[in-house]
A and B are shown apart, each in its own frame.
Chain A
Amino acid sequence: MANILKVKAKASGGKTQVKMMAKHVMESGQRKDSKTGELIPALFLNNLVVKHADKVVFEANLGPAVSKNPYIAFDFEGGAKGDELVMMWSENTGKSATETAAIK
């Protein structure tokens, strides 16, 4: 399955700066289809965990009020160029996946 996360992670001065964006509709479940008038079922990312060297460095629980294509930026201590970040995400439907990205 295609990855949904785009990650820009930069290490400098003993810290790693992480910016990530998930390609995702973040459908609230409140919206009606303009043609059929029926509710569009909720479909949103509800959890994201980021690990570095087997340690969790960030976790987010999200609701559908987070904008379409969720963006999150945070910094953590440690990390070096070439290290791998492991991201695990799940949707409200229970679907989940794991992706990775390298620190630059």
Chain B
Amino acid sequence: PRLALAAWNKNAFEAKDQMSAMKALLGEGAVEDSAEVTLKAPDIAENGAVVPVTVASSMAGVESMSIFIEGNPSPLAAEFIIPAGTMADVSTRVRMGKTSKVTAVVKANGKLYSASKEVKVTIGGCGG
């Protein structure tokens, strides 16, 4: 039996650009950059297929936290639902095909807040 609280949003996960993915998942509301959203990701990915990402927020009333990777064919990577009593602090690992901006969007009290960071994906080699 499927007990999902929020159904898997096909339109959002299959959207080809970040703006459409965000609107499909989170609605038309404005997304505001916030210092209360923490996005941890490496400056350079050690392996583009496994990029560690942590999203956290110090805000009260966090309902969900989502991760978008602008340069991916489908930018929405994951949506985490945060019930009351669960910390707004989730770690996961994502795939990145190329250097791109990673954005975390936190929904709290019905409003949207974000933080972004560029993660470099390099061919590698050489060294001192």
Contact = CB atoms under 8 A, between A and B. Distances in A.
Given a CB threshold of 8 Å, the question of whether A touches B is answered with: yes
Interface string A42-84: 0000110101000111111111111110111111111000000
A90 interface: yes
Interface in B18-38: none
A47 B91 CA distance: 16
Contact of A75 (B8, B89, B96): B89
B13 A59 contact: no
Contact of B92 (A56, A64, A70, A78): A70
Given A58-B83, A59-B4, A71 B92 contact: yes
A77 B85 contact: yes
Most buried by B among A56, A62, A92: A62
A88 B5 CA distance: 12
Contacts of B49: 67-68
B83 to A, nearest CB: 6
A49 B5 contact: yes
A32 B74 CA distance: 17
Contact of B73 (A30, A56, A70): A30
Contacts of A73: 90-92
Interface residues of A, number: 33
Question: Which residue among A30, A49, A66, A71 has the maximum number of chain B CB atoms within 10 Å of its CB?
Answer: A66
A59 B65 CA distance: 11
Interface in B61-78: 69, 72-74, 76-78
A71 to B, nearest CB: 5
B93 A67 contact: yes
A90 B81 contact: no
Contacts of B3: 49, 51, 56, 88
B4 A47 contact: yes
Contacts of A59: 4-6, 80-81, 83
Nearest to A56: B83
Nearest to B48: A67
